Amino acid sequence: MKSSLRLKFLAGLLCLLFSTQALAQSALQDSPPLPEKLRVALLDGNLDLALRTIRNLQQSQPDLTGYWYYLEGVTQQRTGDDTAAVRAFERVEADFAEGPWIHKARFRHAEVLSDAGDWKGAETIWESEVSWLRGAERQRELAAIYFDLADGFSAEKQGAAGLESAEYNSAIVLYRKGLELDLPAEQRQYALGRVAWCYSKLGNWKASAQMYALLWKETADPQVHFEYADALRKHNSLEQARREYEDLAADLDDQRSNPELNDLHGLALYSIGYTFQGNRSIGAFRRFLEAHPTHEKSARAAYGIAMLRLNAGEYAEGIAALDSFLEVKIVTDNLEELQHHEKLRQEAHFKIAETHVQRGHYVDGADAFARYVLLFSEGPDWAAAQRGIIDAEYSQGRHLEAEQDWSAARQSYVKFLADHPLDNRVHEILFRLGDLYRQQAESLEGKESSNAKVNLYQSALAEWARLIAKYPTSDEASHAWYVTGHFQEFELDDLQGAVESYRACNFGTYRNRALERLRIMVKPRLSINTERVWRSNEAASLELEMRNVKSVTVEVYQLDLEAYFRKHLSIRQIED
């Protein structure tokens, strides 16, 4: 019973291992194509014809004799002639021990013995095959098969945008299967590195860090140490990542004469900056730049300092840092790094311009945008920079207006109109040119004579008239007609002109306001006021206000004091 169980176990183990071996054989060497006559005979079950054909092939194609003997044994096994089958398989084992069919023949041989009840013979063959499959050389071969398949899954295809996660996962499974075997250090380390890399491609930085940690312990390779620290950082284990970067940099301090290790030393110092925030990050980047001023990452570090300054609201320092970045020259043959540096240079110029505008330094902003347009005609922000120039020039006029620098604001607006006659803010600026005179007139309250204010109002009306003449149907023209009537009515005492202006404002958003003022102005109105009560011995003086009234007759009556007293029985409050 024990022998039967042992035999079943060996057979099961051999089947499991042999399935891998069969996979290997199929991957390494395809079976020779069967002649049509033999194929048809086997399919039809005409085993006698198949055997005769196989024997003929043994004579006509001697290069494949081992294969034909193997097929003869399989065919004899199907006919039930176990003795002939064993004889054929033993011929393969004896004469073709180095051929590709030896292990299949031995496996078939054991099957025949097992079916015939020769458990001892079958067990002997299977134990031999298990030992072969589990041997060191065979395990290396099996691992190579696993790794070749895994490499195929994890290789990035030419022209493909990327791999599906399932392909990386499949590669990981195969690499791990290989790691279960007893492998030499070189193969094991290769598989560990590939598993770590696949996890990184999947974004599983925790698993990637774990695999790099195992690999680093086995190799003590500085590059692996860096990858381990980098995976920790991307997993957001910042403190641990920082310690690893610092340890790596310390280990490489006395090896910087080696160009590759010096470059790795710089990468470690550079990466420390991303494990901090704020000023501590700036300090780390500066230490990196001091140690490696021409490193291929030096431009990124300088740019990172500038961005940290700007994000902290330190705009002057941020602009200065961007200027320093633009002076950095990197030394590298890495095309990708050079392209990224050029991209950062474009972003830096654009960011300088944006920051100047954000600070209210519109002239500097416009100049910076103009530099971008000149330097990067194919830059991604070229159109935005063009627009930025125009917006900055417009904002400069608004800024000067807010500062009440009327003359400078006027000059800025006039220049804008000359430089950008098709801008959609032309109507608004034409109105503002008149409004500048209005604001200036109102600022003279209590300081200058009324004549100066009148002149300024007249200048405002002249500017608005030019707007109305140039864009008569615009909403700004509606506004201009209304404010023209308003100042004619209340500041210039030109009532007839005000009526005409209000009547002309028969469109746009100010139409209803103009109609309301016009209704009030054309409605007849009469009021009479006296400064005080006049005594009978004084000449009376009256103030008469009238509108839209052709003539007025004023009659003055003397108060009869006796009649007033008889009616009211008092003369109090007569002079109130």
Q: Which strand (E) or helix (H) includes residue 526?
A: strand 525-530
* Confidence check: pLDDT of 350 > 80: yes
Percent of the chain with pLDDT over 90: 56
Residues whose CB is less than 8 angstroms from the CB of residue 67 and which lie 6 or more positions away in sequence, other chains included: 31, 32, 99, 101
Weakest mean pLDDT among 7-16, 59-68, 306-315:
7-16
Averaged pLDDT, 101-109 = 79
Residue 295: Cβ within 10 Å count: 23
DSSP string for 429-470 = HHHHHHHHHHHHHHHTTTTS-HHHHHHHHHHHHHHHHHHHHH
pLDDT tens digits, 518-541: 999 888 888 888 887 777 788 878
The per-residue pLDDT for 351 is 97
Averaged pLDDT, 13-31 = 42
* Confidence check: pLDDT of 158 > 70: no
pLDDT range class, residue 192, cuts 50, 70, 90: very high
pLDDT tens digits, 470-520: 999 999 999 999 999 999 999 999 999 999 999 999 999 999 999 999 999
Q: Which residue reads 């290789």 in tokens? A: 155
pLDDT tens digits, 426-452: 999 999 999 999 999 998 876 556 889
* Confidence check: pLDDT of 576 > 70: no
Half-sphere exposure of 420 (CA within 13 A, CB side): 19
Encoding tokens for residue 291? 């140690």
pLDDT tens digits, 74-87: 888 888 888 888 88
Residues whose CB is less than 8 angstroms from the CB of residue 314 and which lie 6 or more positions away in sequence, other chains included: none
Residues whose CB is less than 8 angstroms from the CB of residue 352 and which lie 6 or more positions away in sequence, other chains included: 319, 322, 323, 368
pLDDT range class, residue 6, cuts 50, 70, 90: very low
Listed ranges 34-48, 90-104, 299-313; the one with the highest mean pLDDT: 299-313
The per-residue pLDDT for 9 is 38
The per-residue pLDDT for 4 is 45
Closest alpha carbon to 197 in 222, 223, 220: 223
pLDDT tens digits, 259-314: 999 999 999 999 999 999 999 999 999 999 999 999 999 999 999 999 999 999 99
Assess contact for 116 and 81: CB atoms under 8 A: no
CA distance 448 to 440: 11
Q: Which residue reads 């290989």 in tokens? A: 178
Encoding tokens for residue 478? 């509606």
Averaged pLDDT, 196-223 = 95
The per-residue pLDDT for 23 is 36
Could you give the C-alpha distances from 115 to 31, 75, 81, 91, 121, in angstroms and in order? Answer: 26, 15, 12, 20, 11
CA distance 492 to 513: 19
pLDDT tens digits, 312-349: 999 999 999 999 999 988 888 889 999 999 999 999 99
